[in-house]
């Protein structure tokens, strides 16, 4: 493989890092990112476990230069303020919260996919805990019944762990060897930002997508409930709406995230399954069967007759999950309480927060971004 050098500048002091270039690809350098063949490849920034430990940029001569908690990298990236006043940074075409970037870089550089891996993906506030519970239950139903499920005592986020917000948030080299097969992981990053080992392997990806109005409002409520004590109050929807319309939100733009997985699901339906949250709500049985079939764990006729699907749906229902002690207590590695992941599952609740004009403006923007793709969303009130 060839080698390319990216230079990050702060004032007059250049920093550079060598990364590998895929053989035969065309390189297009700019100040912030390297895009090869439409895919973003992370730069050579390495962190050493704890957030308060210095990260290092590896130069083309092999020397290392310490940075102060990613500040050298973050200073090179476009930034905006999030709902809670924290920073979002545009990295490889995705608006990441500042705390997630080290995990994203590490994930991109170090994760090696296995053909049997299963990757669950979504924008935030789009039904990921529900999808995790369903996928875990489908895959492991022969090992324990719904009455004995680990979901009763363990958070879905512990059973299906996030790449950037958990596994690689802590270290460059998490111990993944002890995980049972098939390994199940989750991510909020875009398809174009996934490591090439995922793209080029036979692992399967399930993307769950929510209509953009409900997704935006659900994340607003999530941000309101998950902010730290003494943190700045979350900005109002009116204050932040203009940014949402520009795609500036956690792991946005919404349309880029959705389109990436949508197009791959059309081109490689054996690789990517695109699920709509609303469809899953409307017809859970059919979509659960579709999920199981895609993952390679189809339900038998006997299982259907014995009510196994209904058992899984009861176990994974919103009402059941939110009332479990494990989902009421504890926090995630990034400090977010488990309880805020189980709020409202209502479809169309955006109408309680957005004016008709705001909703119409955003709907038109999304439609323009998706035009010609065949992807559309039902907007319920």
Q: How far apart are CA 194 and CA 7, in angstroms?
A: 22
Q: Choosing from 89, 188, 190, 240, which is the catalytic residue?
A: 188
* Active-site residue flag, 173: no
Q: Which positions are annotated as active-site residues?
A: 188
């Amino acid at each position: 493989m060839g080698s390319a050098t990216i230079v990050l500048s702060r004032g007059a002091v250049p920093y550079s890092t060598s990364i590998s270039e895929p053989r035969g690809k065309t390189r297009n350098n700019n100040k912030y990112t390297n895009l090869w063949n439409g895919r973003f490849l992370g730069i050579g920034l390495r962190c050493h476990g704890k957030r308060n430990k210095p990260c290092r940029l590896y130069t083309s001569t092999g020397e290392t230069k310490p940075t102060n908690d990613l500040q050298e990298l973050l200073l090179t990236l476009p930034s905006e303020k999030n709902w809670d006043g924290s920073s979002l940074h545009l990295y490889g075409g995705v608006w990441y919260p500042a705390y997630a970037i080290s995990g994203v870089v590490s994930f991109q550089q170090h994760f090696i996919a296995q053909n049997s891996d299963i990757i669950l993906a979504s924008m935030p506030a789009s039904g990921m805990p529900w999808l995790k519970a369903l996928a875990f239950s489908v895959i492991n139903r022969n090992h324990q019944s719904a009455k004995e499920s680990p979901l009763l005592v363990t958070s879905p986020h512990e059973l299906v762990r996030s790449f950037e917000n958990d596994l690689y948030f802590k270290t460059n080299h998490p111990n993944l060897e002890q995980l049972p097969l098939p390994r199940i992981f989750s991510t909020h990053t875009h398809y174009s930002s996934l490591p090439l080992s995922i793209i080029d392997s036979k692992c399967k990806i399930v993307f769950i997508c929510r209509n953009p109005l409900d997704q935006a409002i659900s994340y607003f409520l999530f941000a309101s409930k998950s902010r730290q004590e003494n943190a700045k109050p979350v900005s109002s929807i009116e204050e932040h709406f203009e940014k949402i319309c520009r795609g500036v939100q956690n792991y946005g733009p919404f349309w880029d995230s959705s389109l990436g997985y949508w197009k791959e699901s059309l081109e490689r339906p054996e690789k990517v399954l695109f699920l709509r949250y609303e469809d899953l709500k409307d017809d859970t049985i059919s979509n659960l069967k579709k999920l199981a079939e895609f993952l390679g764990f189809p339900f038998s006729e006997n299982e259907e007759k014995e009510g196994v699907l209904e058992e899984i749906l009861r176990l994974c229902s919103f009402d059941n999950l939110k009332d479990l002690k494990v989902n009421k207590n504890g926090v995630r590695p990034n400090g977010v309480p488990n309880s805020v992941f189980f709020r409202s599952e209502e479809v169309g609740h955006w109408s309680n927060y957005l004016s008709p004009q705001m909703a119409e403006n955003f709907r038109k923007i999304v439609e323009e971004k998706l035009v010609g793709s065949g992807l559309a969303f039902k907007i319920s009130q």
